[in-house]
Homo-oligomer: A and B are copies of this chain.
Amino acid sequence: MSCCYGPLGMELRRNLLQQWWLSVTGSTQQVFGINTLSSSKGTATDGLRIVESEQLKHVFEQKELSNQQLLQKIQTLIQRSPSLRTGFLQGALEQFVPSLELVNRKLPFGLAETGLCFQPSDGSGCPAEVTQASLVWFCPPRTSSQWLDHWNRQRLKWWRKFALSPSDFSSSDVPEEELEEAASRGVRILYRFPWGQEPVETLWSRGSTELLHTHNGVRAKLQCRDGRKSVPHVISVTGNMDRGVMAFLSNSLQQLKKEDSKKKMLQRKVLKLHPVLAPVKVALDIGRGATVELRQVCDGLLQEFIEAKISTWPGYLETMPTSMEQLNTKYDEMGVLFTVVINENTLESGLLLVRSRDTTIKETKHISEIKSFLSTYISAADNL
């Protein structure tokens, strides 16, 4: 299944990828980001091929060829056409040698990459596009098992950090019969969806076979300064970030029952996304008062929030009348952390109302302190 993202989903996935990147490349371990090509000329016999229509048309136009010759030409053309990557492992294995120079042949280190990968369709005819996040870790053979455990702990901790109920994420060893061919051990980080558990990230301890194969078995190119001249072992950590987005959406949605003023039971839907993941941090709206002046105040605040890189929903630009209750319902479903309301009071005293998504409590704050309040709130949640 491939998905298209609208503005909010896109921002959520962007935040998730950004956090993944920071946690992997910004750890005290040496991890470098790389960017490899998504198509390559390989000898793979299966998978997805990129065929140029023009070239094919050209073959079909060769009227002097027999059908048999045409068929052969087409077969050759397609066999020689580049394939689309299904993951980032191969690219990282190829980049191992140049990267080794960067660290003066010292292990361990890792190569990280995020982006699109492609998988053959399950019959629909359109290939599945998956946004993957990949860390390929190179370490001395004797410590590879410890490193697998290390990354497993780190990654599980990371997923749980952003969850409303952390225990929905768990990790479990891959049973021997499900191990990938090259792997000696595997661990999956699973999320408990309402319909069952699915892996969001998978770790494999892969030995050195694939690395050697990629570099045609030339051990000298691959050896490191660890005294034993050993060829490193490879650990791959691969996250499916589209499924990760689904996991956090599913994990964050709370349906609460509440009574309205007329004692009618209502359902309140709140998307309690973690503050650093929430696509919109604050909504800016206006209440009662002189519209022109209130809008000017909002323009100023919007500018201030943008400069502080606080993602803001400019609700005050909306000219259709909406009740505050309707707005709150909408913002809760969008996962907006805070709603700031500017009204005539603000023009006089500089005071405004700040409503929290999580507590539904409205607090009065001075306009001069609102930006730093929001920044502090978000970065405090980040550092928990």
Which of A's residues lie within 8 Å of B, judged by CB? 2, 4-7, 9-11, 13-14, 22, 26-28, 30, 32-41, 45-54, 56-57, 60, 66-68, 70-71, 74-75, 78, 80-82, 84, 91, 95, 98-99, 102, 104, 106, 115-116, 118, 120-121, 125-127, 129, 299, 302-303, 306-307, 309, 314, 317-320, 383
Contact = CB atoms under 8 A, between A and B. Distances in A.
Contacts of A81: 51, 125
Contacts of A10: 32-35
Contact of A82 (B33, B66, B126): B126
Given A6-B98, A46-B53, A80 B125 contact: yes
Contact of A48 (B30, B36, B52): B52
A242 to B, nearest CB: 10
A50 B127 contact: yes
The 9 closest A-B pairs by CB, nearest first: A67-B67, A7-B32, A5-B35, A10-B35, A10-B33, A46-B53, A49-B51, A26-B306, A51-B51
A9 B383 CA distance: 29
A4 B35 contact: yes
Nearest to A32: B7
B35 A51 contact: no
B37 A46 contact: no
A66 to B, nearest CB: 8
Contact of A116 (B99, B116, B306, B307): B116
Given A71-B71, A126-B41, A309-B26, A54 B49 contact: no
A40 B4 CA distance: 11
Q: Which of A6, A49, A84 lies at the interface centre, i.e. has the most chain B CB atoms within 10 A of its CB?
A: A6
A320 B104 contact: yes
9 contacts: A6-B102, A26-B306, A30-B314, A50-B84, A52-B120, A52-B121, A52-B127, A53-B78, A66-B67
One complex includes copies of this chain to the number of 2
B318 A104 contact: yes
A2 B46 contact: no
Nearest to A312: B26
B22 A6 contact: no
Contacts of A40: 126
A81 B127 CA distance: 10
A129 B78 contact: no
Nearest to A80: B125
Given A104-B320, A129-B39, A95 B30 contact: no
Q: Which of A13, A22, A56 lies at the interface centre, i.e. has the most chain B CB atoms within 10 A of its CB?
A: A56
A89 to B, nearest CB: 15
A327 to B, nearest CB: 13
A241 to B, nearest CB: 11
Nearest to A126: B82
A337 to B, nearest CB: 18
Contacts of A13: 35
Contacts of A71: 60, 67, 70-71, 74
Given A4-B35, A51-B49, A82 B127 contact: yes
A331 B70 CA distance: 57
